[in-house]
Structure 1
Amino acid sequence: MDTNAFVYTTYIRTTPDELWQALTDPSATRRYWGVAFDTEWTAGSPMVWDEGGRKTADPEQIVLAAEPGRLLSYTWHTFTPEWAEAVGIGDEMYAKLAEERRSKVTFAIEPAGDIVKLTVVHDDLEPDGTIRDLIGEGWPALLSSLKSLLETGEELPEPPR
């Protein structure tokens, strides 16, 4: 793992299979993330990111590993001008993001008694890059909402910006 990786571990009162479903099922990911993934969830499969009807596809957006209930890894999405506009990213910030190399995210799922340990590693990041800064805030909020959804049936409200 590279030293610029973002690593976040949380413990969730759920099962590995329920967590896997929450990470891969479009109806779940839309609830806590606002994104649905169109993919076969097998290594090498292309991934289309659907954020509110705005689809992002790229030949380098792929599933890297998929072991149900154990491990999921994929390349991070492509930054497009349409995406930047939709999420309120200005031209200068978009240009910085578009210059950075494609990163990847890995979800390691481990049973831990009656709970599950989820470790998220987002790596292949540019040293001191803009993406690293953004995910440092984004992943904790997103994973907190995932945890809430699995434990209570309700995702967290989006925090004010």
Structure 2
Amino acid sequence: MDGTTFLYTTYIRTTPERLWQALTEPALTDRYWGVSFESDWAKGSPLVWKQGGATMAHPEQVVLVGDPFRRLSYTWHTFTEEWARAVGIGEEVRTRIAAERRSAVAFDIEPEGEIVKLTVTHEFDAESILHGMCSQGWPPILSSLKTLLETGEPLPTT
């Protein structure tokens, strides 16, 4: 892929099964991310993204890989006006990121004894504005995921 990549690895005291749940079950994703998903997580299945009262669905918003407890990958959500209003993104920025090639994110899950190694890879256009936005957004989301799985509570929102 000709572009730029966000790569983040963390180690979580959990099981691959519990981490998969935290990545796919709406009640859990909403707790640490403020996002919930509707999908059966099979390759090619639609992915409905819900955030801040906005619902995004699009034929190109799909599951790319759904290998339970090992790998999850999907295309990123569609940047609708409704979403932008819900999360406080201005129309100029929304228009610019909507013009970029649709990005894709992958979650690789590897058990290592009592912990799980989670590697998140998010691919973007080379000159992507979205890359900068997500590169700042992923670390607190993934830290909150780790905290939720290890303590039962996500990080406080800022």
Superposition pairs for residues 50-129 of structure 1, below 5 Å?
Answer: 50-123=50-123, 125-129=124-128
Equivalent residue number for residue 133 of structure 1: 132
Q: Which amino acid aligns with 2:22?
A: A
Give the C-alpha shift of residue 126 in structure 1.
Answer: 1.2
TM-score, normalization by structure 2: 0.96
- For these two proteins, the number of residue pairs brought into alignment is 158
Give the whole-Å Cα distance in 1 for the aligned partners of 2:3 and 2:51. Answer: 30
Alpha-carbon shift at residue 53 of structure 1 (Å): 3.3
Q: CA RMSD in A?
A: 1.1
CA distance in 1 between counterparts of 2:92 and 2:98 reads 10
TM-score by length of 1: 0.95
CA contact (8 A) 2:12 2:149 kept: yes
Task: Tell me whether 95-104 or 143-152 shows the greater mean CA deviation.
Answer: 95-104
| Paired residue secondary structure (1:29) | helix
1:128-159: CA deviations, max 9, x gaps? 31100001110001000000000000001112
- The 3-state SS of whatever aligns with 2:73 is strand
Q: Higher strand share goes to which structure?
A: 2
What fraction of aligned residue pairs are identical, expressed as a percent?
A: 59
Structure 1 alignment gaps of length 5 or more:
none
Q: Which runs of 5+ in 2 are unaligned?
A: none
Cα distance in 2 between the residues matched to 1:147 and 1:115:
11
